[in-house]
Amino acid sequence: MQAYLELTKPRITWLILMSTAIGFVFGLSANASAAFSGWTLFHALLGTALIASGTAALNQWYESEADAKMHRTRQRPIPSGRVARGPAFWFALTLSITGFAELYALVNPLTAWLGLFTLSTYIFLYTPLKQRSPHSTTIGALPGAMPPLIGFAASAGFVDWSAMALFAILFVWQFPHFYAIAWMYREDYGRAGIQMVPVVEPAGESTSRRILFFLVMLLPVSILPSLLGMTGTVYLAGALALGFYFLRSGVQVFRDRSLLNARAVLLASVLYLPALYGLMLLDRA
């Protein structure tokens, strides 16, 4: 049971559910006729968790050979031999189908189709592209930014510009986060044939430039909720302060492409997103 739980990547699922819940809260604000329903929120989170878990398990099933070549992933359930590929596939498929059905029948069809889009683009576009092109990170950021849209659609029944603002924040945030990981584990990715930017360009100049570029982009993107009237001035000031804190780590890694500085970017990214979400809830309109 522990091995099957590992297939679902519960730590990543927690982040996905946090983003889904934020979208749900702002979806209520966007639809004046919508009333809070704990039942709807429960099924939205449960359905999303099932689809996210199924997607993670399908990804490990697909990449089991590559995972076996990397130090950081070779102890995962499939390459370590604790779960066979066949049972892992059917487990992942069952989770995914159940999650879609949960969202479709007990939340609304739009939420279910957004969940299916997330799974499909992750498994059929992003995952195979990792072996072929460094642009896979850009493609992967699309399904990675979908959770707020899923949560928003669950409560509002539609998606509007405020939902897209939440999507944009998560979309841009992913780039410095994943480029930092890719730089830290570039040798591992190279052994597995995964074409991350630091593998294709080992000097790291392109990686550090991209980290800095997206951190600069995150500053204006992060204040979109205030510009759209979703949040107030407290969020605006806090988002800028968090953004400059995050940017500082990017400047450091741009100046010195060390493992320590890449780890600092990763740590800043992990702290940034929950803090930003907390400000949103604190100062929502």
Give me the CATH number covering residue 54.
1.10.357.140
Domain hosting residue 212, numbered range? 162-285
Over residues 141-180, the pLDDT tens digits come to 999 999 999 999 999 999 999 999 999 999 999 999 999 9
Mean pLDDT of the chain: 93
Count the domains in the chain. Answer: 2
Percent of the chain at pLDDT exceeding 70: 100
Which pair of tokens denotes residue 261?
A: 């500085």
Give the start-end residues of each E strand in the chain.
Answer: none
Shared domain check, 170 and 62: no
The CA-atom distances, in angstroms, between 200 and each of 131, 138, 163, 256, 257 are: 11, 15, 35, 19, 16
pLDDT for res 46: 97
Res. 32: pLDDT tops 80: no
Residues 89, 197 within the same domain: no
Q: Which residues contact 174 (CB under 8 A, 6 or more apart)?
A: 137, 140, 141, 144, 145
Q: Which residue has the tokens 């209520």?
A: 28
Please tell me whether residues 5 and 145 are part of one structural domain. yes
89 and 168, same domain (yes or no) = no
HSE at residue 243, side-chain half, CA atoms within 13 A, is: 21
CA distance 58 to 50: 12
State CA 246 to chain mean position distance.
17
